[in-house]
Amino acid sequence: MKKLWLLLLCVSLAACARDFPVSPLNVDEQKSEVELRSMEDNDAQLALASMYVLHNRIDDADGILSSLAVKDGKNPRVLAWKAANDCKKIGRRGPWLMGFDKLYMVRGCLADLNAALAAAPDDFVVQMVQMTTASDVDMFGSLERAAATRDRVDAMLKKQPDALPADTQAQFQVVAATIDRKQGQKDKAAARLALAAPLIKAESTRDQFMREQGLLATR
């Protein structure tokens, strides 16, 4: 009976279309966009696509990532960012076949995300994409897998406190705080945000920090 209830809950969630409002690029990101759009190498195109993913420009990201998947499909970062964007594409879909098709596709994008992490378990970019996406989707045990990655990064930073630049550490603490909040550990999440605050250098990181701080205050 419990399994049936969980299945019905998953179907209900899957049948709902989710809104991903586009967020504007800040001044620095606008400059980067202009530069990256003039460059054709894979790294530049991936940097552009990742920026689009983060700002919910899902269709813009999809075109670039689909091309990169053909040209550089074995690159774990390409696989991770494409999986992240695919999860958003699936999330915004409306109901069809009672949501069972959507459940199947969610499992697929999460599987691709897991594959990217398995291919590059120590790549911090892949780790961040996996934590962000898996905690956001929060289905099929993805939140627990995001927490496991968070714990690995925590352990690494405990051994090597200066392994990441200040702003990058702040980004990690914000994402980790999201996972803590979703696991019901609000005090731990608040402590992470307090740790992140003095490390923030980039405007985009501050935006993420403010967003998570607002969510923590209201939930």
Any idea which residue has 């399994």 for tokens?
Answer: 3
What was the pLDDT predicted at 17?
Answer: 75
Domains belonging to the chain, first-starting first, are: 25-122 (1.25.40)
What was the pLDDT predicted at 208?
Answer: 95
Considering the entire predicted model, what is its pTM?
A: 0.89
> Rounded distance, CA 51 to CA 19, Å?
18
Mean pLDDT by 10 residues, the chain (219 residues): 42 64 94 97 98 98 98 96 97 66 92 98 98 97 98 98 97 98 97 98 95 92
> Rounded distance, CA 54 to CA 150, Å?
19
CA angle, residues 54, 115, 70, in degrees to nearest 5: 70
Residues 114-140, buried b or exposed e (16+ Cβ, 10 A)? bebbeebeebebbbbbbbbbbbbbebe
> Rounded distance, CA 134 to CA 125, Å?
14
What was the pLDDT predicted at 9?
Answer: 41
